[in-house]
Structure 1
Amino acid sequence: MPAATTVDDRPAQPLRVAIVGYSFMGSIHAQAWTTAPRFFDLGPGVELVAVSGRDAGAAHAFADRFGIADVETDWRTLLTRGDVDVIDICTPGHLHAEIAIAALDAGIHVLCEKPLANTLEEAERMVAAAERAATQGVQAMVGFSYRRTPALAYAQRLVADGRLGTIRHIRAQYLQDWIVDPDFPLVWRLDAEQAGSGALGDLGAHIIDLVGFVTGQELTGVSALSSTFVTERPLPDASSGLSATATAATPRTGTVTVDDAVVFIGRTDGGALATFEATRFATGRKNAMRLEVDGSDGSITFDFERMNELEFHDHTLPAEEAGFRRILVTEPGHPYAGAWWPAGHGLGYEHTFVHEVADLARDLAAGRRPEPGFADGLRVQRILTAVAESAAANAGWVTLDH
């Protein structure tokens, strides 16, 4: 149950967090929870009380690495321990709905990695559980961590302040290359039963959310194409639990059941035209998440591979002074940056997660609904579903009703 409170509604003890999952996302979340109280005022602080994972050996190694006292091999035991205020879900997507709904129904706050779920139906059930829980003061948040990049948070501020005027064009890309090699193994992210989709859900979810966050506009329709460039891959160790079945002709390979890349266009409720691209086959690109927004009075452009920089063009200046200029988003007045280092000393990928959990902890302490909530995750899920439907129909137009 949530931590007991004193008469002034401040938590009487640290926020007690249990993490489900101990791989890449589990590690970055554990690091964030450990670091956040050292740089942000979180009242009594945070305590990582447990980690849950199916491999006891790997979970114990994770616990030792991050100083976590307890290990559970069944996440359900976290619901009845009595010392867990927040369950942080860092598992593959097919497990999100079951864990989140059970935790919320047990009166435990939830932070769930993106995308919210593998299917629209699962996302809708998660939102319903979050709404039930909210009536009891129990909150749910979806982990779109890139919102907490200082440069993107500052871009959102510029748009909200009207510095770009009427928005006309939006261009969003997420480019990676980690599976270009056809001998890269068939990991769980390439299996639809566990991941739901490929580049669409993994990368596309981020840029869909960011477009809504930065511009404040919703997509009203989409038209998409997708492709799977490498359809068969070597099977990893059998302990991975992948659902793919090796073929008779190539018994050491399995079928890729997700997309490798997707492109789509859309229109927003503000009348802007939007283009999106998400791919794991952009050779040479490691984590190039890019956003450009063009308006009547100015434009902004951002690339996460230079995450401390935002380019801004002020079209209201005389032509002789016009052009994109670099803003180094490390000043104390920039979002989140003042909690860290002197100006010019940049932040990294991990800091976005520190900002995420710090915001969540402060919202819980204040009794506020955290953002983005599960309803925001559902909006993204609806767009992901529409994109998949359009791609299946070979770029058919799909209208969105939010």
Structure 2
Amino acid sequence: MKEYLSTFTEFIWGFPMITLFVLAGLFLTFRMGFLPFLHFPHIFKMTIGQLGKKKASHGGGISPFAAFTSALSATAGATNIVGVPVAIAFGGPGALFWMWIVALIGMTTIFSELVLGITFREKNKDDKWVGGPFYYLSKGLKWDKLAWFYAFGLMLEVVPSVMVQANSVSVQVHHEHNVSLIIIGIVLALVTGVIVFGGIERIGKLSAVLLPIFVIAYVGLTLFVIVMNASKLPSVFSMILSDAFTPTAAIGTFAGATVVQTLRWGLARGLYTSEAGMGTSAIAYASADTDNPVRQSFWGMIAVMIDTLLICTLTGLTVLITGVWKEVEVGKAASMVSYAFKTTLPDWLSSYSISIFLVFFVLATVGVIIFYGESQAELLFGRKVRFIMRFVYLGAIVIGAVGGLKFVWELLDLLLFLIVVPNIIGIVLLSGVVKKAKDAYFK
């Protein structure tokens, strides 16, 4: 089963998904008039520039910033600390370049799906805003079957997604502190249960307070390691660019990679960490208290910049500039950042800081993605199934904590494929709605 799964994911995340994602992203970028590049000052002013200013209420929902941090929690998680080293371990340094390309193209993609998610949202039985791909595929595109397929795929995709997050923490904590994998999984599941039973409001409030603190701390430590090895930066950037377009030779523990493998791991991890094209961020942003879909959707572009262009880049540079990517075994790729920190920082600070970062990021991430999955379960099968899936997801955390690294990531990629395809079809066909909203906003 593992062999077939590996063969299929290698194929589908090669030429087929590369073509689909890149063509769709370029089409949307052209159609929206290069929005994130030509209007960046305005986008920054209407997002980061508005922090601290009191906002008027527009009919319920969590604050726009809480919606942003909730969605960012689902992306600025273990994928930043673990997913990037995994991409490099299997695809080589050039994978980081393709993560950048995904981010640049993905900014307009995520903007489009957020506009659609808010435009076609509605109030549920509890008088709370709900939205996302299911709503714009069914109400906007009028393709009920495609909407159902997406929602069912996302409901399943959350299982390997939480397994990946739990595996990221368990590998690190077990390696550094010799704690049993099963105990780590049970503790994570119990704490996550407390978070998710509080709903999106509790998740939003926690994320809005804690996420900026942990992101700034992580950025500070990675920058310190990079600055201390700054003389190697030119050769590292040269290696990233050259390996993006040529096969990477085997060196040390790195087994080598073809260009297709580099593309495959860079694209898949870049897409998962930014969520551009997945449509999941639209579920969180649809719960925001806002009267303007375009203005709220600017936060999505800022999230991609922070998550992929900043945090993932710093993680990638940290493991490359210290050389640990060719010294750490592939099976221990999840601990690469910890190894990289130890080359510059004291051992105790390296091991405890990465463990703390991973635990917080994973708890924040898992809380949001479980909310995504159970909301789809309720849409399709009702509230009872929503609670059943909640316990399925909590059980998956325990299983993921003891699961194999590459198998879990490849299972995730298989189910990512099932939700990305219908979502991209939807946002491309509904791009006229997005363009109309965008043009009206700027007029």
Q: TM-score, normalized by length of structure 2?
A: 0.25
With CA pairs under 8 Å and 6+ residues apart, which has the higher RCO, 1 or 2? 2
Q: Which has the higher helix share?
A: 2
Q: TM-score, normalized by length of structure 1?
A: 0.26
Q: Which has the higher strand share?
A: 1
